[in-house]
Structure 1
Amino acid sequence: MNNQDFSWESFSAVPIIGIIRNLSFDTVEKILPVYLSSGLTTIEITMNTPFAEDIIKFAAQKYKGQLNVGAGTVCNIHDLKVALDAGAQFIVTPILDVDVVKTCVKAKIPVFPGAYTPTEIYQAWQMGASMVKVFPATLLGPEYIRDVKAPLNQIKLIPTGGVNIENITSFMNAGADGVGIGSQLFDKTLIKNEDWNGLEIHFKKFIDKLVHNS
């Protein structure tokens, strides 16, 4: 396990979790150096991606100390064990599964469980979640993050779903502690055309928005 290798420092510098779902091993292998060279630091491989275990293992070993590599869509203890055995450094869930959260907390693995309502968000935090993934954030928007943060300002929130280049700054200004981005970050056309230079420029636009508020 590489749990001790998760770098909060590098995540805090660029608090974006890039979510890879349903991309082939070969494609991910080509994307990772571009992702790293753009300045992004944290990547999530969803467990419902074909050969997710192999991708996590490859990324965690090859980019050890350079990238935070985690597993997403972890819904149960079986998924969790597979992910950790592959070397996942953090765990993301779409739902609030008590067993998964408590197991991660006990093992000191950063865990970002998915929650939607203020009650679920608070419960996840009380269980020891490192951050709480507000999912799906598509319809809720930045104002929801602001509203939840008003009474629950101590809870770290990472909205996921619906975050894009236009609203990323609004989410962060509303009090988000990071964002999870999937298809908006991993542009399908650029990837299909293997336009790696274009993809790096695309990645950097998100960082510019986030870091420089530009």
Structure 2
Amino acid sequence: MSTDNTIFWKRFHAAPVVGIARGYATDTVLRIGEAYAAAGLTTLEITINSPDPTASIARLREQQPTLNVGAGTVCTEADLDRALDAGAMFIVTPVLAEAVISRCVAAGVPVFPGAYTPTEIYRAWTLGAPAVKVFPAGQLGVQYLKDVLGPLNEVKLLPTGGVDLGNIQSFLAAGAVGVGMGSSLLDKALIAAGDFRGLEAHFSSVRAKSAYTLVG
């Protein structure tokens, strides 16, 4: 059965950043989520290879109802089952996991599959993915995004890996529908120090950059 994702997409487009929380225990994820929501960011991915990711997804959805909470690093249908059972609102894969993509599309669950080459990107798009995660984007650069969108101008791209405060606006100006951010967004030093107020300020800086729109 298809799902109405109007609220999901409204939140996503208001702050088109997918934060990637990898390797954090549930209590830390909840603190991150609190700062994330307070800063006005909206879409947060918990990787399935984190400690107790299902608990993190379920509890974060409960405690931060204004967030899009999803699961990342989903490579298999077993991973997908765990994520959906926990209440994941969207799915991110690091690779072209066709069975995962097809099931998400059939169920109406937003899925951002990982792809690298134009052929992989186009395959993910034709399978029905609403946007394709270009990974690792930092190795490819902004020009690669522009080059791909020349012939594949209808495809929605979500560059991930190597995106930071210094280049987020360039990726968006190049035509990205949003960006994925991991370590450059979830500052490990601030988190390790328990400085969640500082983390919120950092999130706010990213939120301001993500509001950039190309004029003209």
Q: Classify the TM-score, shorter chain.
A: over 0.9
Q: Where do 5+ consecutive residues of structure 2 fail to align? A: none
CA contact (8 A) 1:3 1:109 kept: no
Q: Deviations over 1:86-131 (max 9, x none)?
A: 0000000000111101101111111110000001100000000011
Q: Where do 5+ consecutive residues of structure 1 fail to align? A: none
Question: Structure 1's 4 and 146: CA in aligned 2 closer, same or farther, altered over 3 A?
Answer: closer
**1:1-214 equivalences in 2 (<5 Å):** 4=5, 7-64=8-65, 66-212=66-212
Instruction: Return the alpha-carbon distance in structure 2 between the equivalents of residues 138 and 205 of structure 1.
Output: 20
Instruction: Return the alpha-carbon distance in structure 1 between the equivalents of residues 7 and 24 of structure 2.
Output: 23
Question: Structure 1's 176 and 148: CA in aligned 2 closer, same or farther, altered over 3 A?
Answer: same
Instruction: Return the alpha-carbon distance in structure 1 between the equivalents of residues 71 and 18 of structure 2.
Output: 11
**Secondary structure, in 3 states, of the residue corresponding to 2:69?**
strand
Deviates more, 1:22-31 or 1:90-99: 22-31
Instruction: Return the alpha-carbon distance in structure 2 between the equivalents of residues 50 and 87 of structure 1.
Output: 17
Deviates more, 1:108-117 or 1:24-33: 24-33
CA contact (8 A) 2:169 2:212 kept: no
CA contact (8 A) 1:3 1:89 kept: no
| Deviation (angstroms), 1:63 | 2.1
Letter in 2 for 1:127: L
**Secondary structure, in 3 states, of the residue corresponding to 2:139?**
coil
**Secondary structure, in 3 states, of the residue corresponding to 1:89?**
coil
CA contact (8 A) 2:172 2:212 kept: no
Instruction: Return the alpha-carbon distance in structure 2 between the equivalents of residues 6 and 35 of structure 1.
Output: 18
Instruction: Return the alpha-carbon distance in structure 2 between the equivalents of residues 69 and 89 of structure 1.
Output: 6
**Secondary structure, in 3 states, of the residue corresponding to 1:176?**
coil
Instruction: Return the alpha-carbon distance in structure 2 between the equivalents of residues 114 and 6 of structure 1.
Output: 24
| Deviation (angstroms), 1:3 | 7.5
Letter in 2 for 1:45: I
State how many pairs are aligned.
211
Q: Deviations over 1:140-173 (max 9, x none)?
A: 0111111111111110000000001101111111
Letter in 2 for 1:193: A
Letter in 1 for 2:47: T
Instruction: Return the alpha-carbon distance in structure 2 between the equivalents of residues 185 and 212 of structure 1.
Output: 17
Return the TM-score normalized by structure 1: 0.95
| Deviation (angstroms), 1:192 | 1.1
Instruction: Return the alpha-carbon distance in structure 1 between the equivalents of residues 54 and 6 of structure 2.
Output: 18
Instruction: Return the alpha-carbon distance in structure 2 between the equivalents of residues 96 and 59 of structure 1.
Output: 27
